[in-house]
């Protein structure tokens, strides 16, 4: 039987390659500290994949490396080893592995980890990412959308939400939004555009992107004292929780239009 | 049709040999056979003995459950061997070519005048009824069934499929005659799916009920399933029929001359060949005979059907117009006990939504929702999403693209069988 290209592990590997510009720029600016964080995240995530392979015969996935990368980049700083291990374990196991591995999860394990760490240890400062990273996220997004791995409509929807807020402010960003934008874009590429947990229908993806963008604008203007990473990760978490509902709405809409078209 | 829909789909680049010189050649193989479709239970009452000499198109057997429907000899031949299983279920009827046996002539006077009942009886007697496919469930239609619509497929976008428009060249008269006769069998619309270009039939061909649908070049646009899904979804109460354009032209020729043309256009393609052939052969032809002299030495598989949806076979399938010869990779050269153990114990890997998957469904329906409904056995959602219009061949491209296990087409068949059992069909 002949087989095509797009099985789970090819998708995971290609996604990893798409994120390389982002990862390399981050490692370049982060220095040895970034390398250690990434190595630590990779080891913990890999260890849990190994445990689930031996205990439950769940084949390990390269998607674990994507999770590790996102967590290493975005996790709050000065947490200490134990808390970081706890957070990554919680995210990988509870958000991904117990559901049967990548492809069967309902929320992104990296988002779960970051939300857990952020809400669990609010005293730890969120990382400030340098601006070149946001520029590096652009080639990552272009690669991902061109290969058909990242849903372009989600990015379109998020940009549309930003544009609307810009238009409402008559050509200026709403107060507090401008410093959040680079981080919001990085999180969009790293977490929100995950093909598995984003909405799967075409109109659902527009709505999902719009919702993420709208939440970022809302949090940026209304949430006093929140760090950009905190705002973006929270928006990603709430958007991904709403994704199945958006899909359901899109399918109902599609069926209504179909009934009308078929008479 | 919106622009996005006509450009949707994929063109999988599957390897094949360079085309043979000389264009389309007629080639009757020495042996041919009548076989049931996969998973079809076909109980027969034989009309002649082993060794009987049969004209091409002469009735050989009748279906026990539908005595009106006959199986006919695919060529002028001697009935060499009758293999029936328990309950007189057809395994194989084998024929040897005997050119002097001639052609069977049918009584077509009533059908020629457009009497719907006579056309129905003629199609059932001439073996054309079995070529009709009724959706949902993809079976031969019941003897008295009246379809809500008929789709005539003059487009085929499967990789390396023979061009249906070329098959109709010089047969325009037969085609419009067949189309008009087919139109008598339904009160609903008749859809003609064809590639872009001049229309293959005038608007008046079926009493004003003909509608022409243009298909793009990418797979799966030339499959009936997605067209039916979009234009006229099939339900158990309102079945939709589908027939290939060449068979429609055969029906027209039968009405004209009283005998079946008995040749079918077939492409013989694949990586394990030295040349790609375009042939005209009898139905049920021997596949080894069709690719004789063009096969590269070594292990290979001969499939009836395209590389995407074909099955390993000895004889050309009932509705197949493609033969694919592939390298077969017997045994895996490297295997490790641990990866084997893991593969056996693990649940199959899930399908990840990508743009490729979306295109494999021709962007016609919410692909991931359908896949989730199929893999969780949720027949209600499956029906709501319009899955009843689809058959295995429609999901073959998605299977190829994602390498899904279990195969989506197998899951679709299981869902259709469950729904059919529930409907009591």
**Domain definitions of chain A by residue range:** 8-120, 151-262
Q: Would you say residue B46 lies in a domain?
A: no
Q: Pick out chain A residues at pLDDT < 50.
A: none
Calculate ∠ Cα B169-B170-B173, nearest 5°.
115
Q: Would you say residue B23 lies in a domain?
A: no
Domain match, B232 and B357 both = no
Q: Would you say residue B72 lies in a domain?
A: no
Report CB contact under 8 Å: B367, A6: no
**Predicted confidence (pLDDT) per residue in A30-79, tens digit:** 999 999 999 999 999 999 999 999 999 999 999 999 999 999 999 999 88
What was the ipTM of the complex prediction? 0.93
Q: Would you say residue B101 lies in a domain?
A: no
Chain A residues touching chain B at CB-CB below 8 Å: 2-9, 11-12, 53, 57-59, 100-104, 147-149, 195-196, 200-202, 247, 250-251, 254-255, 258, 262
- Pick from B224, B257, B290: which residue ends a domain? B257
Q: Is B324 helix (H, G, I), strand (E, B) or coil?
A: strand
| B222, two tokens | 């030339």
Give chain B's domain count. Answer: 2
List of chain B residues whose C-beta atoms are within 8 Å of the C-beta of residue A197: none
Q: Would you say residue B17 lies in a domain?
A: no
Query: In this structure, are residues A121 and A77 in contact, taking their beta carbons and an 8 Å threshold?
Result: no
Of A2, A195, A251, the CB nearest to B353: A195
For position B4, what pLDDT does the model report?
57
- Pick from B210, B233, B257: which residue ends a domain? B257
Q: Burial, A222: exposed, middle or buried (Cβ in 10 Å; 0-12, 13-18, 19+)?
A: exposed
Of A4, A103, A149, the CB nearest to B400: A4
B353 at A interface, C-beta within 8 A = yes
For position B133, what pLDDT does the model report?
95
Domain range spanning residue B381?
349-423
Of A3, A148, A251, the CB nearest to B403: A3
Q: Would you say residue B383 lies in a domain?
A: yes
For position B331, what pLDDT does the model report?
57
For position B94, what pLDDT does the model report?
96
Q: Would you say residue B344 lies in a domain?
A: no
Domain match, B249 and B359 both = no
**Predicted confidence (pLDDT) per residue in A236-253, tens digit:** 999 999 999 999 999 999
Residue B322: which of B309, B332, B334 has the closest Cα? B309
Domain match, B113 and B251 both = yes
Q: Would you say residue B133 lies in a domain?
A: yes
Of B350, B354, B366, the CB nearest to A148: B354
**Predicted confidence (pLDDT) per residue in B342-354, tens digit:** 888 888 889 999 9
- Pick from B257, B284, B310: which residue ends a domain? B257
For position B344, what pLDDT does the model report?
84
For position A4, what pLDDT does the model report?
82
| A209, two tokens | 């992107």
Q: Pick out chain B residues at pLDDT < 50.
A: 1, 3
Strand B300-304 to B311-312 pairing: antiparallel
């Amino acid at each position: 039987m002949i087989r095509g290209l797009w099985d789970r592990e090819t998708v995971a590997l290609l996604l990893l390659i798409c994120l390389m510009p982002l990862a390399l720029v981050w490692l370049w600016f982060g220095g040895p500290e970034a390398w250690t964080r990434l190595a630590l995240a990779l080891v913990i995530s890999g260890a849990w994949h190994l445990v689930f392979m031996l205990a439950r015969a769940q084949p390990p996935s390269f998607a674990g490396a994507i999770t590790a990368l996102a967590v290493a980049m975005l996790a709050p700083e000065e947490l200490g080893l134990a808390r970081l291990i706890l957070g990554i374990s919680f995210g990988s196991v509870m958000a991904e592995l117990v559901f049967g591995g990548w492809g069967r999860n309902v929320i992104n394990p990296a988002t779960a980890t970051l939300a857990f760490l952020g809400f669990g240890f609010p005293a730890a400062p969120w990382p400030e990412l340098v601006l070149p990273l946001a520029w590096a996220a652009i080639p990552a997004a272009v690669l991902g959308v061109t290969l058909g791995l990242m849903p372009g409509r989600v990015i379109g929807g998020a940009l549309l939400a930003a544009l609307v807020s810009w238009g409402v402010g008559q050509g200026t960003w709403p107060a507090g939004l401008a410093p959040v934008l680079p981080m919001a874009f990085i999180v969009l590429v790293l977490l929100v555009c995950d093909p598995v947990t984003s909405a799967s229908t075409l109109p659902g993806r527009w709505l999902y992107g719009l919702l993420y963008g709208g939440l970022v604008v809302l949090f940026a203007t209304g949430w006093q004292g929140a760090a950009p990473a905190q705002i973006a990760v929270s928006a990603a978490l709430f958007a991904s929780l709403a994704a199945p509902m958006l899909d359901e709405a899109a399918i109902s809409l599609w069926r209504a239009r179909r009934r009308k078209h078929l008479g | 049709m919106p622009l996005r829909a006509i450009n949707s789909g994929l063109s999988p680049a599957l390897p094949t040999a360079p085309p043979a010189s000389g264009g389309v050649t007629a080639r009757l193989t020495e042996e041919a056979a009548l076989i049931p479709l996969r998973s079809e239970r076909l109980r027969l009452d034989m009309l002649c003995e082993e060794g009987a000499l049969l004209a091409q198109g002469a009735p050989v057997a009748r279906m026990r459950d539908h005595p009106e429907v006959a199986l006919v000899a695919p060529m002028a031949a001697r009935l060499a061997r009758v293999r029936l299983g328990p309950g007189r279920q057809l395994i194989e009827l084998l024929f040897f070519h005997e050119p002097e046996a001639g052609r069977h002539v049918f009584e077509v006077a009533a059908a020629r005048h457009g009497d719907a009942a006579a056309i129905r009886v003629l199609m059932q007697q001439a073996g054309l009824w079995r070529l009709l496919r009724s959706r949902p469930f993809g079976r031969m239609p019941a003897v008295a069934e009246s379809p809500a619509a008929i789709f005539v497929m003059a487009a085929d976008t499967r990789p390396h499929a023979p061009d249906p428009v070329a098959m109709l060249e010089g047969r325009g008269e037969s085609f419009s005659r067949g189309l008009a006769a087919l139109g008598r069998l339904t009160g609903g619309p008749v859809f003609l799916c064809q590639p872009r270009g001049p229309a293959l039939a005038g608007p008046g061909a079926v009493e004003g009920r003909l509608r022409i649908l243009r298909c793009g070049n990418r797979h799966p646009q030339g499959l009936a399933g997605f067209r039916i899904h979009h234009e006229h979804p099939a339900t158990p109460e309102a079945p939709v029929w589908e027939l290939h354009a060449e068979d429609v032209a055969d029906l027209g020729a039968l009405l004209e001359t009283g005998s079946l043309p008995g040749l079918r256009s077939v492409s013989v393609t694949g990586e394990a060949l030295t040349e790609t052939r375009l042939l005209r052969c009898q139905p049920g032809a021997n596949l080894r005979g069709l690719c004789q002299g063009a096969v590269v030495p070594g292990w290979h598989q001969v499939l009836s059907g395209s590389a995407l949806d074909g099955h390993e076979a000895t004889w050309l399938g009932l509705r197949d117009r493609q033969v694919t010869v592939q390298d077969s990779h017997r045994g895996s050269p490297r295997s490790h006990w641990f990866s084997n153990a893991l593969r056996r114990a693990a649940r199959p890997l899930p399908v990840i939504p990508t743009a490729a998957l979306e295109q494999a469904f021709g962007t016609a329906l919410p692909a991931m929702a359908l896949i989730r409904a199929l893999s969780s056995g949720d027949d209600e959602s499956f029906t709501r999403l319009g899955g009843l219009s689809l058959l295995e061949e429609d999901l073959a491209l998605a299977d190829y693209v994602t390498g899904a296990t279990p195969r989506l087409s197998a899951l679709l068949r299981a869902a259709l069988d469950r729904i059919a059992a529930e409907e009591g069909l």
